[in-house]
Amino acid sequence: MGAVRQKPGVLVIGLDGLPFTLARQLIAGGYAPALARLAAEGRLQQMDSVVPTVSAVAWTSFLTGVQPGKHGLYGFVFRNPAGYDIEVCSTRVIRRKLLPELVSDAGRTAFSMNVPVTSPPRPVNGIMIGCFLSPDLEKAAWPAEEAAYLRSVGYRIDTDAALARRSTAGMLEDVRRTTERRVTAALHYLAARPWDYFHVHIMETDRLNHFLLGRALAGGGFAADFFDCCRYIDGQVARLLDAVAEDTPLLVVSDHGFEPIRQEAQLGRWLVERGWTVLGGGPVRSPLDFDPSRTRAYALIPGRIYVNLRGREPGGIVAPEEYEAVREAVTRDLLDLRDAAAGAPVIRRVLRREEFLWPAGRLGPCPDMPLRDRLFGDPVYALAPDLVAEPCPGYDLKMGLAKQALFEKTELEGMHTRDDAMLLVRGMAAPAGRASILDCAPMILGRLGIAAADMDGGAEGAA
Amino acid sequence: MASALPFVIVGHVDHGKSTLIGRLLYDTKSLSKDKMAEVEAMSADLGRDTELAFVLDSLEEERSQNITIETTQVFFKSGGRQYVIIDAPGHVEFIKNMITGASQAEAAVVIVAAEEGIEEQTRRHSYVLGLLDIRQIAVVINKMDKAGYGEARFRELAAGMEEFLASIGRKADAVIPISAREGDNVARPSDRMPWYAGPTLLEQLARFRTAERDRGAGLRFPVQDVYKVGEKRVLAGRVERGTVHVGQDLVFMPGRGRAKVKSIEIFLQDAPQKAEEGRSVGLTLDKPLFVERGHVAFAAGEEHAPAGEVRARIFWMSREPFRPGEPLMLRCATQSAAVKAVRIDRRIHSATLEVLQENARSLGENEVGEVVITTQSPVVVEPLGAGGELGRFVLTRRDDVVAGGIVWWATKDSNLGPAD
Amino acid sequence: MDRLDELESKSIYIIREAYAQCRKLALLWSIGKDSSTLLWLARKAFLGQLPFPVLHIDTGRKFRAMIEFRDARAREFGLRLIVARNDEALAGAEPGKPLAGGGKLDCCTALKTQALQQAIARHGLKALLLGIRRDEHGIRAKERYFSPRDENFQWNYKNQPPELWDQYRSRSEEGSHMRIHPLLHWSELDIWRYVRRENIPTVPLYFARNGKRYRSIGCECCCAPIDSAADTLDAVIRELETTTTSERAGRAQDKENAYTMQKLRALGYM
């Protein structure tokens, strides 16, 4: 006897870090029958992510519909503006409303589970279960009472990353169990009441790629495990699809692609070697534990460079008049970085902040602002990196202030790519040309008949 | 949300108090980003390197003279708790402002610069701490960087401060070697003074407690005003001590009028049954009684006789010395009484604690007097140790506050008998 | 009593002292959040019926939302509202802009200060209650609860009478007035928390619309909004709690941060 099918206004399933090219491979290889079905009914296309390309930033751009320069979240970590302490990102730094809030404001119901960055959760006309950055269930749920239900079904906020480094078999089991419980909880909520916007995020694909991609592509024992796990996750997606009406408008989307890591490149260490960052002597306790009185530029992951600017950084020493010159000199040094052993350059290009916060073309040229305003104006802008380095394929940019060597290989096997995210749309008008993750929010709101104000994506000329 | 701990920093102006405050704010990240930018811009104008102390000197002439004049209240947060620094300047000229600043504090930090040592201002201010009944005291020996971080000098000054404090009946909870400029032992433990194993200043501040309210204590309700609200006659005031209940028997001093509390009036609250210490409320009584501003309500049976003579210690703050016979008012809580006479038993130098004169005829600026004050009408006061507003008073001359006083003992007024 | 109760009680005490010592009192209401809080506290102090008038300085350039709000509250609270305007200066002025022929300071002097002087003279006021806080501005940090202004509204900060314990001095020379600041010990965050707790009506301009909100409101031509998504009271409070960049509060939060840092480290994000 078939179960009742729900009819959410829009269903969104996030598959973190699933590359478009890999999705096609999985479909072709028969490892993703649910995705295959959807691709046939709708449209599967490649999609561009944002700069810097990391989940926290990309999903926040997905949820807000704007470039990082407008929402204020530039990475998983940031420098507390009052000093040189490093802090983990949260909804507190996001200066815009998130999709579920916009939906709520329009008087409609919204459900969001595990989407980065939604911790701490914000109040919505519905339920928000925060993302993997939540320290515990009580802090993850809005309303907080939902924590009790989640606990009762053994919901897991996240897989254990430390385990993943130690044991591949352990990780695989962890991925399966966590995904299964997450979808079970999601189904419970799906049936609980009618939803206009229903969004479940599966993080586990990202973990798989981070820790197993290299071996998967190389073939051999673990390759089979990798693809089996993908098949398992596709099965979980199928559970969600089977619970909704067949014509439900939906999106299956990822935030970036993946490629194998050749080396981890420590930009923090490089800046020290080139004299931009000066250490204080004594043990390095954090990525920002340098001597600000002698540091002119410092790095944050991934590939973000900040000038230690007087009037912005509390211990800043670079005068605003020297800002451009410092940027130029650091850019030259970044492009100089080479993997001597492989005889290869590491940095493909270095973007200045105004280039990627307002890239020309799609979103118009950079507004011509006086330097003072660009640097010191809005706090959102003030936390933006001054430069972002984009790596050559295979070089994962890290910080490594305390590292002794520039290059390192760890248990991580996969790194992010910007131009290979995946967008699968059914029942909605998909972007005609090249898609960007910024197009998603206007598309969803458009489908729900809610006006999208002041967003960076969407079809040219569309409302 | 818990209340903040207000504390005062006292000591000689050149011993680095402003720098210490700036350092505290900076190290607890309580300076907003734009304040920091503002500070640096201001310093650049004056051609000086950023000095954290500049944060607090917002008045133009202070900045160019490098003196703090007024009292400032500055907030910061550390370890989940809020603090309020009441900065008190050290210049002799502005001592009366200092006393005002100190009066709201529940703890004090006494600052002594290592090279300069314990100066007159240091002692005078410490004396005032005693006068104001501040018992939580931390002493910081500052500018240790200039003194080569040497232990010997620190021990010498620590001993000197402890001795002085003991002579005024006080004791330091901690004596800490610091450098506000370099940051040693303020928020971060110093690694340049391995011979010191005690707390940092922030750690010591964390140990200080905010004043606790004693709900079981006897009721003290000084009447601030009487309002007519609709048909009701409401006595407005703050419960200075204890708790007041509906139905409670009250006695109003000094008149000894008795009545029961008919209702407690709190706007937008329906018929509250009690009001605890610290609350500003209104009371109505079950029978008409002549009550006016200045009267103090006690729980019946707990009242004590009004005083005709008050034995006290006063700190004279006016440039014009006290002249016997001049018209002064004594103001305590909401009471106001004309002063009939002041007998100065001893006149004391507030810094050296030297007894300048016995049976003095006058008291000069910054001098302390052990006095007996006789008032024209009876006043309701208590020794300060009993706690509360009834143990402190001011003397005013034409509405200017000229002295602050602490009640030592109150003598019964033999001319009064029971009112009814 | 929690922190807000203490702040409230002290302010009510000061307001009552002001009235006890000076019956010719008025409350200066700028319709902003601070003076609206002051108004609320005054209502509490006098149990709902203010025995003195409320004074609004209308520069003719205030946001319309403020004027509407003002009139609605005056009716609701039964206030005796005096609106003061420098009609002379406004006569030749271009609407919606600062006065021509001078800087912003001159415009403020003409439209605000002079209007206030005229109102004080006309109504024989001897003292004013204002909603100024210490944490607003450097100079404010030096203000006292009871602060005398002379004829030219000058404030001689060097010769301030000491305020000892709760003895507030309020009598002043003929021809000048006393200013009383019952909110000195409140921070911006305290005000918002109190507004939330008491449900004090506030002008909606403080809450974000289209990504912008006003942190302070006054004349429309001189007020600039800030970027913010905080469109409700809770959101504004949350934003203030985190953007004042003060030290992370509490060991519990430090532990959480350490936990999340560990996780990010393991994921290679650190």
Q: Which residue has the higher pLDDT, A25 or B31?
A: A25
HSE-up (13 A, CA, CB side) for residue B276 = 9
A288 CA: distance to closest CA in chain C (Å)? 11
Q: Comparing A59-68, B17-26, C93-102, which segment has the lowest mean pLDDT?
A: C93-102
Percent of chain B topping pLDDT 90: 31
Domains in chain C with CATH codes: 3-187+256-267 (3.40.50.620), 189-254 (no CATH)
Token reading at A339: 């993997």
User: What pTM does this model have?
Assistant: 0.52
Token reading at B274: 């009690």
Each as own residue / partner, the long-range contacts of residues C212-217 (CB below 8 Å, 24 or more positions apart, any chain) are C216/C32, C217/C31, C217/C32, C217/C63, C217/C66
Assess whether A149 and A267 both reside in one domain. Answer: no
Residue A463 counted as domain residue: no
CA distance C219 to A363: 35
Assess whether A204 and A58 both reside in one domain. Answer: yes
Residue A140 counted as domain residue: yes
Give partners of B (≥3 CB pairs < 8 A): A, C
B191 CA: distance to closest CA in chain A (Å)? 12
Whether C157 shows a pLDDT value over 50: the answer reads no
Residue A148 counted as domain residue: yes
B234–C contact, CB cutoff 8 A: yes
Q: Are strands B244-245 and B274-275 parallel, antiparallel or unpaired?
A: antiparallel
The confidence score (pLDDT) of residue C236 equals: 81
Token reading at B143: 């500018």
Longest dimension (CA), chain C: 73
- Enumerate the residues of chain C whose CB falls inside 8 A of the CB of residue A210: 267-268
Q: Which of residues 126-145 of C touch B (CB under 8 A)?
A: 134-135, 137-139, 141-142
CA distance B25 to B74: 9
CATH 2.40.30.10 intervals, chain B: 221-299, 307-412
CA distance C127 to C136: 22
With CA atoms as reference, the chain B residue closest to A312 would be B37
A260–B contact, CB cutoff 8 A: no
Q: Total domain count for chain A?
A: 2
Closest by alpha carbon to C40, among C4, C83, C85?
C4
Residue A420 counted as domain residue: yes
* Interacting residues of B57 by C-beta distance below 8 A, sequence separation 6+: B18, B63, B66, B68
- Enumerate the residues of chain A whose CB falls inside 8 A of the CB of residue B37: 311-312, 376
- Give the mean pLDDT of chain B: 79
Is C211 close to A96, i.e. CB distance below 8 A? yes
* Structural domain span for residue A217: 10-260+416-447
Assess whether A73 and A107 both reside in one domain. Answer: yes
B79–C contact, CB cutoff 8 A: yes
Whether B72 shows a pLDDT value over 80: the answer reads no
Is A135 close to C256, i.e. CB distance below 8 A? yes
- Enumerate the residues of chain A whose CB falls inside 8 A of the CB of residue C257: 87-88
Residue A452 counted as domain residue: no
With CA atoms as reference, the chain C residue closest to A159 would be C263
The confidence score (pLDDT) of residue B307 equals: 84
Token reading at C66: 């403020």
B36–A contact, CB cutoff 8 A: yes
The confidence score (pLDDT) of residue B385 equals: 56
Residue with tokens 């509060």: C249
**Beta carbons of C164 and B316 less than 8 angstroms apart:** no
Neighbours of B293 (CB within 10 A): 19
- Enumerate the residues of chain C whose CB falls inside 8 A of the CB of residue A410: 268
- Enumerate the residues of chain A whose CB falls inside 8 A of the CB of residue B36: 82, 314
Token reading at A373: 């305003």
C215 CA: distance to closest CA in chain A (Å)? 14
- Give the mean pLDDT of chain A: 88
Whether A125 shows a pLDDT value over 60: the answer reads yes
Whether A89 shows a pLDDT value over 60: the answer reads yes
CA distance A191 to A194: 7
Q: Give the pLDDT band of residue A12 (cuts 50, 70, 90).
A: very high
* pLDDT tens readout for residues B230-266: 888 999 999 988 899 999 999 999 888 999 999 999 9
Helices and strands, counts by H and E, chain C: 9, 8
- Enumerate the residues of chain A whose CB falls inside 8 A of the CB of residue C233: none
* pLDDT tens readout for residues C20-38: 988 999 999 988 889 999 9
* pLDDT tens readout for residues B28-60: 877 655 555 655 555 555 444 445 444 444 332
- Give the mean pLDDT of chain C: 75
Whether C245 shows a pLDDT value over 80: the answer reads no
Mean pLDDT, residues C234-241: 77
The confidence score (pLDDT) of residue B12 equals: 80
Q: Which of residues 187-206 of C touch B (CB under 8 A)?
A: 187, 193
Most confident of A107-111, A161-165, A309-313, A315-319: A107-111
CA distance A362 to C251: 46
The confidence score (pLDDT) of residue A307 equals: 94
Q: Are strands C127-129 and C25-28 parallel, antiparallel or unpaired?
A: parallel
The burial of B92, by beta-carbon neighbours within 10 Å (0-12 exposed, 13-18 middle, 19 or more buried), is given as middle
B119–C contact, CB cutoff 8 A: no
Q: Give the pLDDT band of residue C63 (cuts 50, 70, 90).
A: confident
Is C264 close to A80, i.e. CB distance below 8 A? no
Q: Which residue has the higher pLDDT, A93 or C221?
A: A93
Testing the interface with B: which of C7, C25, C47 to mutate, by most B Cβ within 10 A?
Answer: C47
Assess whether A308 and A248 both reside in one domain. Answer: no
**Beta carbons of A35 and A234 less than 8 angstroms apart:** yes
A60 CA: distance to closest CA in chain B (Å)? 25
C241–B contact, CB cutoff 8 A: no
Element (H, E) at C172: none
Integer angstrom CA distances of residue B362 from A332, B323, B346: 79, 6, 10
Q: Where are the beta strands (DSSP E) in A28-177?
A: 43-48, 77-79, 86-88, 110-113, 126-129, 141-142
Whether A33 shows a pLDDT value over 80: the answer reads yes
Q: Give the pLDDT band of residue C221 (cuts 50, 70, 90).
A: low
Whether C55 shows a pLDDT value over 80: the answer reads yes
Residue A455 counted as domain residue: no
- Enumerate the residues of chain C whose CB falls inside 8 A of the CB of residue A399: 270
Residue A461 counted as domain residue: no
The confidence score (pLDDT) of residue A341 equals: 85
CA distance A150 to A263: 39
Q: Give the pLDDT band of residue A57 (cuts 50, 70, 90).
A: very high
Is B394 close to C141, i.e. CB distance below 8 A? no
* Interacting residues of A211 by C-beta distance below 8 A, sequence separation 6+: A164, A165, A168, A171, A411, A412, A413, A414
Whether B202 shows a pLDDT value over 90: the answer reads yes
Q: Comparing A201-210, A344-353, B13-22, C137-146, which segment has the lowest mean pLDDT?
A: C137-146
> CATH top-level class for B221-299?
mainly beta
Angle ∠(C191,C196,C199) on CA atoms, nearest 5: 115
Closest by alpha carbon to A375, among A299, A294, A297, A309?
A309
Is A314 close to B33, i.e. CB distance below 8 A? yes
Assess whether A242 and A307 both reside in one domain. Answer: no
CA distance C104 to C84: 19
Residue with tokens 């320069």: A69
With CA atoms as reference, the chain A residue closest to C242 would be A92
Assess whether A84 and A222 both reside in one domain. Answer: yes
Q: Where are the beta strands (DSSP E) in A35-138?
A: 43-48, 77-79, 86-88, 110-113, 126-129
Query: What does residue A43 show for φ and ψ, rounded to 5 degrees?
Result: -140, 130
Q: Which of A359, A384, A408 is the last residue of a domain?
A: A408
Mean pLDDT, residues B164-180: 87
Is A314 close to B31, i.e. CB distance below 8 A? yes
- Enumerate the residues of chain C whose CB falls inside 8 A of the CB of residue A453: 210-211
B28–C contact, CB cutoff 8 A: yes
Q: Which of residues 92-121 of C touch B (CB under 8 A)?
A: none
Is C227 close to A95, i.e. CB distance below 8 A? yes
A82–B contact, CB cutoff 8 A: yes
A377–B contact, CB cutoff 8 A: no
Give partners of C (≥3 CB pairs < 8 A): A, B
Assess whether A386 and A287 both reside in one domain. Answer: yes
Assess whether A222 and A249 both reside in one domain. Answer: yes
DSSP assignment, residue C24?
A: S
Is C165 close to B392, i.e. CB distance below 8 A? yes
A394–B contact, CB cutoff 8 A: no
Whether C143 shows a pLDDT value over 50: the answer reads yes
Q: Which of residues 200-259 of C touch A (CB under 8 A)?
A: 210-211, 226-229, 231, 234, 238, 242-243, 245-248, 256-257, 259
Is A162 close to C266, i.e. CB distance below 8 A? yes
Is A54 close to C257, i.e. CB distance below 8 A? no
CA distance A78 to A306: 11
* Interacting residues of B155 by C-beta distance below 8 A, sequence separation 6+: none
CA distance A240 to C251: 40
CA distance C124 to B183: 54
CA distance A200 to A189: 11
Q: Which residue has the higher pLDDT, A66 or C134?
A: A66
Residue A2 counted as domain residue: no
**Beta carbons of C83 and C56 less than 8 angstroms apart:** yes
CA distance B333 to B391: 9
The confidence score (pLDDT) of residue A196 equals: 96
Token reading at B289: 């009684």
- Fold classification of B307-412 is Elongation Factor Tu (Ef-tu); domain 3 (2.40.30)
Mean pLDDT, residues B72-85: 77
Whether B20 shows a pLDDT value over 90: the answer reads no
CA distance C152 to C173: 13
The confidence score (pLDDT) of residue B25 equals: 78
Token reading at A167: 């044991």
Whichever domain contains A345, its CATH number is 3.30.1360
Neighbours of C147 (CB within 10 A): 23
The confidence score (pLDDT) of residue B135 equals: 80
CA distance B404 to B316: 7
Q: Which of A388, A408, A428 is the last residue of a domain?
A: A408
A287–C contact, CB cutoff 8 A: yes
CA distance A217 to B229: 84
Q: Are strands B392-397 and B400-412 parallel, antiparallel or unpaired?
A: antiparallel
CATH superfamily ID and name for B5-207: P-loop containing nucleotide triphosphate hydrolases (3.40.50.300)
Whether C175 shows a pLDDT value over 60: the answer reads no
With CA atoms as reference, the chain C residue closest to B86 would be C141
Mean pLDDT, residues B84-106: 53
* End-to-end Cα, chain C, rounded Å: 44
The confidence score (pLDDT) of residue C249 equals: 30
B72 SS3 class: strand
